[in-house]
């Protein structure tokens, strides 16, 4: 089995795959579409982070590819519809870097509230400006969290421990943690929060969700953070509000267009503004998070290859398959009536005894894991592949 890992995926992931007999090609940077297509020749498993785009053309050009591991939270850089169409499983790490993002958000909230960037700049310039003007504690101030998922909810807990009052807004009805309070609309949150932090996902409807209208609804001299997705914020509108002083400060970690490596220049309208903290998409980039992500996603890829388990797959029906002492056949198919009956008829024709069988469906796909025993395997795989409904079949 061959694996291609891009974008400096942690060495623990490489070790985990090599320990199971994989031939691993680990590279430091992202690859453009044409280069990725060339690199995927003969590759069974691909590992990426946020800067490599796995397009429909890439997936069409890599028929041997079994699965893609996104060693990060987001999967919007992967064409999930095309991956599903080609029977390529996609896994990510939805929890592993949560704490790292939260700690960066807290650090930036405190840095902006205490004007630490100004103090740092002045001191390096030889200016001793010992003043409390414009410097505030975060205790007692109101934090508005937009998106109360894994990161937003943990940010809520840590911020409250610092003495902040927490409001949150989410389209999903989520349980409030601690003393956090859910509000019914984004407008209500913006009218009350003194600091606004975005933690939404990359779904298309979130694109440009925060623009001139939303900035106008914020309280004067509020602070603003975006550590989720670059496309959700209109940076021109943010720039205008920072220059006018309506927004007192901003911390931005993600951008609509990001360099693929450190060799490419970074350009943004926000550069040069003293009230802005810019970081290069490092919210989840701590050693601890990268170790956890490397182990977690590599484990998911190994479970899929060895056991056929699709537990926590982003795009395929979820079947959490465990170890087996018999042969295992995994079958991904179009979800239409009668498929399971036809599948089992083939097993019966080949005198296969079914020890266990688990089926799950997701939209137009079905995924069945069958543990079988018998001796007449000749021709079985070819007949399973020949079924009109078959997308992909493997014998483990």
- What pLDDT, on a 0 to 100 scale, did the predictor assign at position 263? 86
Mean pLDDT of 343-367: 95
Q: Residue 209 — pLDDT band, cuts 50, 70, 90?
A: very high
The domains located in the chain, with CATH, are 1-96+286-316 (3.40.50.720), 98-278 (3.40.50.720), 317-396 (3.30.70.260)
- What pLDDT, on a 0 to 100 scale, did the predictor assign at position 220? 97
- What pLDDT, on a 0 to 100 scale, did the predictor assign at position 331? 97
DSSP string, 88-120: -EEE--SSTTHHHHHHHHHHHHHHHHTTHHHHH
331 is catalytic: no
Residue 344: alpha-carbon gap to chain centroid:
37
The model's pTM is 0.84
Contacts of 212-216 with C-beta under 8 Å, sequence gap 24+, read: 212/237, 212/240, 214/186, 214/190, 215/240, 215/241, 215/246, 215/247, 216/246
Find residue 182's DSSP bridge partners.
168
Give the C-alpha separation, 173 to 182, whole Å. Answer: 9
Reduced to 3 states (helix: H, G, I; strand: E, B; else coil), residue 303 is helix
- What pLDDT, on a 0 to 100 scale, did the predictor assign at position 191? 98
Judged against a pLDDT cut of 90, whether residue 89 lies above it is answered with yes
Q: Which of 10, 51, 199, 281 is catalytic?
A: 281
Judged against a pLDDT cut of 90, whether residue 246 lies above it is answered with yes
* Tokens coding 122: 């002045």
* Tokens coding 244: 């006018």
Q: What is the pLDDT of residues 31-75, one digit of tens each?
A: 999 999 999 999 999 999 988 999 999 999 999 999 999 999 889
Q: pLDDT above 70 covers what percent of the chain?
A: 100
The C-alpha angle 68, 396, 74, rounded to 5 degrees, equals: 15
The counts of H helices and E strands in the chain are 13, 16
229 is catalytic: yes
Cβ-contact 250, 270 below 8 angstroms? yes
Cβ-contact 47, 5 below 8 angstroms? yes
- What pLDDT, on a 0 to 100 scale, did the predictor assign at position 147? 97
- What pLDDT, on a 0 to 100 scale, did the predictor assign at position 375? 80
Q: Which of 33, 103, 188, 258 is catalytic?
A: 258
Judged against a pLDDT cut of 80, whether residue 377 lies above it is answered with no
Give the C-alpha separation, 360 to 370, whole Å. Answer: 12
Mean pLDDT of 144-169: 98
Q: Residue 260 — pLDDT band, cuts 50, 70, 90?
A: confident
Q: Residue 374 — pLDDT band, cuts 50, 70, 90?
A: confident
Q: Which of 99, 115, 199, 229 is catalytic?
A: 229
Mean pLDDT of 308-317: 97
Q: Residue 373 — pLDDT band, cuts 50, 70, 90?
A: very high
Mean pLDDT of 228-252: 97
Q: Residue 261 — pLDDT band, cuts 50, 70, 90?
A: confident
DSSP string, 324-364: -SSEEEEEEEE--TTHHHHHHHHHHHTTPEEEEEEEEEETT
Judged against a pLDDT cut of 80, whether residue 102 lies above it is answered with yes
* Tokens coding 207: 């694109």
- What pLDDT, on a 0 to 100 scale, did the predictor assign at position 316? 97
Judged against a pLDDT cut of 90, whether residue 203 lies above it is answered with no
């Amino acid at each position: 089995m061959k694996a291609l890992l891009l974008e400096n995926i942690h060495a623990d992931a490489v070790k985990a795959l090599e320990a199971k007999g994989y031939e691993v090609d680990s590279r430091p940077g992202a690859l453009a579409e044409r280069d990725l297509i060339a690199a995927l020749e003969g590759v069974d498993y691909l590992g990426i982070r946020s800067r490599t785009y796995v397009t429909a053309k890439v997936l069409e050009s890599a028929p041997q590819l079994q699965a893609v591991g996104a060693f990060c939270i987001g999967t919007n850089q992967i064409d999930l519809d095309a991956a599903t169409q080609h029977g390529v499983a996609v896994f990510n790490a939805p929890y592993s870097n949560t704490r790292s993002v939260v700690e960066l958000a807290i650090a930036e909230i405190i840095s902006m509230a205490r004007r630490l960037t100004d103090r740092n700049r002045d001191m390096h310039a030889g200016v001793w400006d010992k003043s409390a003007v414009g410097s505030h504690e975060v205790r007692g101030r109101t934090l508005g969290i937009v998106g109360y998922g894994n990161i937003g909810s943990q940010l809520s807990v840590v911020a409250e421990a610092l003495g902040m009052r927490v409001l949150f807004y989410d389209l999903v009805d989520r349980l409030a943690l601690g003393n956090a309070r859910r509000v019914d609309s984004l407008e209500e949150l913006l009218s009350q929060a003194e600091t606004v932090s975005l933690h939404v996902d990359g779904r298309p409807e979130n694109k440009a969700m925060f623009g001139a209208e939303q900035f106008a609804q914020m309280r004067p001299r509020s602070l603003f953070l975006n550590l989720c997705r670059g496309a959700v914020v209109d940076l021109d509108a943010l720039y205008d509000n920072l220059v006018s002083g309506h927004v007192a400060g901003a911390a931005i970690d993600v951008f609509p267009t990001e360099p693929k490596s450190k060799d490419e220049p970074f350009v943004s309208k926000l550069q040069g503004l003293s009230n802005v903290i810019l970081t290069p998409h490092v919210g989840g980039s701590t050693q601890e998070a990268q170790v956890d992500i490397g182990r977690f996603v590599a484990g998911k890829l190994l479970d899929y290859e060895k056991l056929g388990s699709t537990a926590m797959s982003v795009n395929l029906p979820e079947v959490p398959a465990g170890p087996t002492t018999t042969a295992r056949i995994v079958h991904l198919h179009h979800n239409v009536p009668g498929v399971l009956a036809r599948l089992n008829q083939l097993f019966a024709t080949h005198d296969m005894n079914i020890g266990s069988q688990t089926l799950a469906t997701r939209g137009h796909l079905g995924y069945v894991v069958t543990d079988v025993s018998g001796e007449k395997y000749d021709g079985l795989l070819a007949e399973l592949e020949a079924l009109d409904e078959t997308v992909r079949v493997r014998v483990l």
